[in-house]
Amino acid sequence: MWVTWLSKLMTGEVGCQWAPWFKTHYTDYTRAPSDFPLATWTAEHNKLLDEVSKERLKLGDSVYREEQNRFRVRRSTGLVVAGKPDLVTVDKDGHCTVYECKTGIPRQSDMTQVILYMMLLPYAVPLYKGKNLSGCVVYKTGARSDIPAKAIDKAFGESATYFLNILESPDPPSPTPHLNECRFCDITEEDCSERVKTDDVISEGEAPEAPI
């Protein structure tokens, strides 16, 4: 399973626990087509990532990008948690910082995603072993959210464990479908009979008259 799935569950941005549970347990499924503008997003994201990389290099940091940071951590139960942080820098004093570049509107899951990276990287990448990492979310607008190493506390760890246990359980949670999530979900009706389609929803302006 991917860290991004976990961060959205932990912050409540994804209400249907069944969808990430399904994708954690099954990979060979038919995926619904997407109208997400991938080419535009990729170009904007890479531009922002390049700007942050150059900024940190000018300051004398060592910079490690995307594939250099890809990791897979196996829990004792067998579940593999995977991630690919955008950028990790190491300054002259050996302090490590995880940067995540976001081109959309700020979301709470952005920070949770980075904290999960901060927590897991020392277990998976030898370069960061034994390090206390800090973090920073960088937005296209120029806004930044700094995250101290102390954000990894007991409560955060317990929350992450709670939702990881849900995702790796052999018993699926009940689906809670609604249009706002189903429209962006890549699981088709072939596997999810409760998937909500646009045609199934009364459009705005066509609400039935109330009986009172």
- For position 73, which CATH number holds? 3.90.320.10
**In angstroms, what CA-CA distances link 203 with 4, 42, 200?**
31, 32, 9
Please tell me the pTM assigned to this model: 0.89
Q: What six digits make up the tokens of 154?
A: 């007991």
Q: What's 48's DSSP letter?
A: H
User: 181 has which bridge partners?
Assistant: none
Assess if residue 24 is contained within a domain.
no
Cβ contact 114:135 at 8 Å: yes
d(CA 20, CA 6): 8
Assess if residue 169 is contained within a domain.
yes
Three-state secondary structure call for residue 147: strand
The CA-based angle 186-27-185, given to 5 degrees, is: 15
What sign has the CA pseudo-torsion 153, 154, 157, 158? negative
Cβ contact 147:137 at 8 Å: yes
> End-to-end CA distance of the chain, in Å?
48
Q: What six digits make up the tokens of 92?
A: 């002259």
Assess if residue 125 is contained within a domain.
yes
pLDDT value for 202: 47
Three-state secondary structure call for residue 64: strand
- Count of CB atoms within 10 A of residue 212's CB? 3
pLDDT value for 24: 95
Nearest to residue 164, comparing CAs of 2, 4, 6?
A: 6
Q: What six digits make up the tokens of 23?
A: 């994708």
Structural domain of residue 163, as residue ranges? 35-174
Q: How many folded domains does the chain comprise?
A: 1
d(CA 4, CA 117): 10
pLDDT in tens, the chain (212 residues): 999 999 999 999 999 999 999 999 999 999 988 877 888 989 999 999 999 999 999 999 999 999 999 999 999 888 999 999 999 999 999 999 999 999 999 999 999 999 999 999 999 999 999 999 999 999 999 999 999 999 999 999 999 999 999 999 999 999 999 888 998 899 999 999 999 976 555 455 555 555 55
Assess if residue 100 is contained within a domain.
yes
Assess if residue 96 is contained within a domain.
yes
Element spanning 29, H or E: none
Cβ contact 99:88 at 8 Å: yes
Assess if residue 18 is contained within a domain.
no
pLDDT value for 35: 77
